[in-house]
Amino acid sequence: MTAPQPEIDPSRLEGRLAGLAGIDRVRATSGPEPVYLVGGVVRDLLLGLEEIANLDLVVEGNAAALAERLGAEPTLHERFGTATVTLGETLVDIASARRESYSRPGALPEVEPASLADDLARRDFTVNAMALPLENPARLIDPHGGLADLEARLLRLLHPRSFCDDPTRALRAARYAARLGLSLEPGTAALLAQADLGTVSAERVEAELRRQASEDDPAPGFGLIGEWGLIDIDADAVGLIAELSRLLAAEPWSDAADRREAILAVAQGRLQGPRALVAADPQRPSDAVEAAHGHSGEELAVARALGAAWLDRYLAEWRDVRLEIGGEDLLAAGVERGPAIGRGLAAALRAKLDGEISGRADELRVARDAS
């Protein structure tokens, strides 16, 4: 696992904040109520990370009103007092400062308006519970010691009931630990051992796993998820995820399969890679096309990641080979409607794939002979 080597230097926050895309617009638009940059973006600014695509804002006031002033057709989520606005390439999430309570472990929270301090106190880890006031970004608001934990490379819960309220935070812990090179603070590790994902809906667990699958380097986080016993995922599956994520990061495979969904399916044990494809050793292009026929792009990618190197040529050279003729041509040539047409076309395609024929006339001849 490669941890970033950031320079954690709060005195540089102001300059780094000024460099964020969209921030000038937000600053120019915010009204009298205090607006803060919060959560992961503050953490990442402290870490000096370059790629910050989302701005998370908390306003001690009305999020919808700020979103509307920013324009650009905000999406409002009234139940949670949040709004989303897109400014150029930047997604801005705005929330009214809120407090949360959970009716039972794993339930979605009830929310009510509150102060920034309450809003920070409801969060998952200290490193995610810091805020920067937009009017004075030099004043880091850090009531839970997030900066010290970031410097010590520690992931620490804010309160002992946190995994109980929301066990998906255990999955988030794996994501942050792997991505940012953080270790679990011992108390947090002990609480994590008790986390019970069984109290959360399958959809919420899947949504968190999908976020893990979207990471630039998803395998180490899945490794931790398995090691910590959060879901059943063994070292072979983690190795396969590492291989798949490399394969699907670049063409031609990136066009053939959805990287995130393929990785998620492997993590959930839904996709093991058709053994027949891995074991196959097609001698001719037509054999390769026949073997691959009917498999999804994700299945093919998993088989490739497991070592079926012949699939590279299948994808690049053979998958898209088509005949110049069609069934109508065979009918016009006197072949009877019915299975003979399919038989003939299949024979012509095989011959074309194997380089035995070229051009319409050849195709028609082979297809007629085989029909």
Per CB under 6 A, residues contacting ligand CTP are 39-40, 56, 123-124, 128-129, 166, 168-169, 172
Q: Could you tell me the smallest distance in angstroms from the CB atom of residue 42 to ligand CTP?
A: 9
Q: Could you tell me the smallest distance in angstroms from the CB atom of residue 138 to ligand CTP?
A: 21
Q: 169 vs 352, which CB is nearer to ligand CTP?
A: 169
CB atoms closer than 10 angstroms to residue 101: 11
Q: 168 vs 268, which CB is nearer to ligand CTP?
A: 168
Pairing of strands 98-101, 90-96: unpaired
Q: Could you tell me the smallest distance in angstroms from the CB atom of residue 331 to ligand CTP?
A: 58
DSSP reduced 3-state for 122: coil
Alpha carbon dihedral 27, 74, 54, 66, in 10-degree steps, equals: 30
Q: 128 vs 286, which CB is nearer to ligand CTP?
A: 128
Q: Could you tell me the smallest distance in angstroms from the CB atom of residue 55 to ligand CTP?
A: 10
CB atoms closer than 10 angstroms to residue 19: 10
Q: 128 vs 268, which CB is nearer to ligand CTP?
A: 128
Q: Could you tell me the smallest distance in angstroms from the CB atom of residue 267 to ligand CTP?
A: 17
Q: Could you tell me the smallest distance in angstroms from the CB atom of residue 279 to ligand CTP?
A: 39
Nearest to 226 by CA among 207, 210, 209: 209
Q: 160 vs 252, which CB is nearer to ligand CTP?
A: 160
Q: 2 vs 283, which CB is nearer to ligand CTP?
A: 2
Residue nearest to ligand CTP (CB): 40
- d(CA 112, CA 103) in angstroms, rounded, equals 14
Number of residues assigned to the chain: 371
CA 78 to chain CA centroid, nearest Å? 26
Contact 277, 295 (CB under 8 A): yes
Q: 126 vs 371, which CB is nearer to ligand CTP?
A: 126
- d(CA 119, CA 98) in angstroms, rounded, equals 5
Contact 206, 264 (CB under 8 A): yes
- Tokens at residue 156, please? 């620490």
Q: Could you tell me the smallest distance in angstroms from the CB atom of residue 129 to ligand CTP?
A: 6
- Tokens at residue 121, please? 């106190």
CA distances to 127, 174, 186, 244 from 189, in Å: 16, 11, 5, 29
